[in-house]
Structure 1
């Protein structure tokens, strides 16, 4: 059985609260969504990275952000 989907999407506000390693965003329709997780070590690292050190005050954003 073939199903044809015609749709129109209008997005007036698109807000993402947080992003994690397993996050995805889908706009539209999909017949099947299959989970997939890939772990990549493309740099050939053998130990964890050093802890990040804060370098003082953060610079303000280039694009002004609206208050939430």
Structure 2
């Protein structure tokens, strides 16, 4: 049995609180989503990594991420997410 779906999707706002390596964000219908995961040794490492030490302690109460983050860009009302 075949299904034919005609869609018109308008997204005014989309907030994603978290994302992982296996995250999927689907908008609309999809016949099949095939998972794919690839792991590459791009550094040419031949031995396991040494055990992790204790996390550094922050001096202030302010949250400091372990990975440097970029300030998120803002979508202005003039921008449109619609495909033309």
Q: Give the TM-score range, shorter chain.
A: 0.5 to 0.7
Indicate the residue corresponding to 1:15 in structure 2. Answer: 15
Structure 2 unmatched ranges of 5 or more: 57-63, 75-84
Specify whether residues 44 and 12 from structure 1 end up closer, same or farther in structure 2 by C-alpha distance, changes over 3 A only. same
Displacement of 1:29: 1.0
Indicate the residue corresponding to 2:79 in structure 1. Answer: none
What's the RMSD between the two structures over aligned residues? Answer: 3.7
Specify whether residues 62 and 25 from structure 1 end up closer, same or farther in structure 2 by C-alpha distance, changes over 3 A only. closer
Deviation sequence 1:19-66 (CA, Å, 0-9, x none): 1111121222111223332222233233549x8x8xxx87x83746xx
Q: Give the structure-1-normalised TM-score.
A: 0.55
Structure 1 residue ranges, 4+ long, deviating more than 6 angstroms after superposition? none
Larger Cα Rg: Structure 1 or Structure 2?
2
Distance 2:44 2:73 in 1: 36
How many correspondences in the alignment? Answer: 63
Task: Identify the structure with bigger relative contact order (alpha carbons < 8 Å, sequence gap 6+).
Answer: 2
Q: Give the structure-2-normalised TM-score.
A: 0.48
Distance 2:72 2:15 in 1: 19
